[in-house]
Structure 1
Amino acid sequence: MIKTYLIIDGYNIINQWADLKEIAKTSLEDARTKLISEIQSYAKLKNYYFIIVFDAYNINDRIKQEVFENGSVIFTQKHQTADSYIEKLVYDMPKVYEIYVVTSDFTLQRMIIGSGANRITALELEKDLDFAKKTSMKKTEEQYHKERNNLEKSLDVNIINKLDKIRRGQAE
């Protein structure tokens, strides 16, 4: 089975999605947390491994990485942009993987397509994420209705027939 990677330009997405952009006005940390949570759920639904890359352009001398069950979050090192990190990451990845890079940055999109990866815009990801959530909820709801414990399943046929007669007003 081919492993699928979803590589995300974190701040680009935060600045493109209206709800995250609004959250970022008061707390960039909260916007990052919400993005990470959304992507974790989405990646689980799609069976992707995600990598979210955030610029730490003037902050740290070292790359900071947080590892999750199905992905990781990376803060680049000082004087390194998320774009340059993503470019190198895609270039260095084995071509046996299916790679999707999520960004609305035109220059980065051109580079990743040239490296053999696929590009997804921020809007396309947002729409697919919403669709995946709705589909998952519908499947969960259908499964619930299939598996719920009906009284009818546990009753004897004779009792069901008697109850049906009572319901129709034909009680003996």
Structure 2
Amino acid sequence: MFVDGYNIIGDWPELKARREDDLESARDILIEKMAEYQAYTGIQVSIIFDAHMVPGLGKNFNDYRLEIIYTKEKETADERIEKLVKEHKRVDTQIYVATSDFLEQRVIFASGALRKSARELRREMESIEKGIAQEVEKTKNYSNKAKLPITGEIAEIFEKWRRGKS
């Protein structure tokens, strides 16, 4: 799934409000939520952020096992997403693009990808967060039957590994 980062930030109320004061924080929250989405669904997620108004070279990096892409100068997220859809489209792969940009939705649909609106993604994320909370509660109530008890510190290290943080 390719996520148009600033489009989602501009649509989700909690991120939109934060964007006004601290855009970096809004990006970080979206990245964390998409990491949870990827971990819960098993769907590979790439987040693309526009840099067309910012001078310099684009960059890619991985955080939480997500691919995070900042476009090159004078390149929009829509243009990069269209390229990525064409590069990754295969018969055995279903590609989703998360954006509420109507024109972009039509272009990617014509390229063979499916669209997911920001609203749909938000609802799905809310459902995932509820599922995670239920699993955490179940785990808390489950008695530890491991033969080798582990400390909270070790459990925290394992959790970081699970989330892709070193």
Distance 1:135 1:146 in 2: 16
2:89 counterpart (79, 88, 94)? 94
Aligned with 2:35 (options 5, 20, 40): 40
- CA RMSD across the alignment: 1.5
1:44 and 1:70 in contact (8 A); partners too: no
TM-score by length of 1: 0.78
State the Cα distance separating 1:12 from its structure 2 match. Answer: 0.3
Aligned to 1:166: none
CA–CA distance in structure 2, aligned partners of residues 67 and 84 of structure 1: 21
Instruction: Name the structure 1 match of 2:48.
Output: 53
Query: Is 2:62 the partner of 1:67?
Result: yes
Deviation at 1:139, TM superposition (A): 2.4
- Aligned residue type for 1:132: I
In percent, how many aligned pairs have the same letter?
Answer: 35
Aligned ranges for residues 138-153 of structure 1 at < 5 Å? 138-147=134-143
Which residues in structure 2 correspond to 1:1-172 (within 5 Å)?
A: 6-95=1-90, 96-147=92-143
Extract unaligned runs of 5+ from structure 2. Answer: 146-166
SS at structure 1 position matched to 2:16: helix
Unaligned runs of 5+ in 1: 1-5, 150-172
Please report how far the alpha carbon of residue 69 of structure 1 lies from its aligned counterpart in structure 2 after TM superposition: 4.5
TM-score (norm 2): 0.81
Highest Rg: 1 or 2?
1
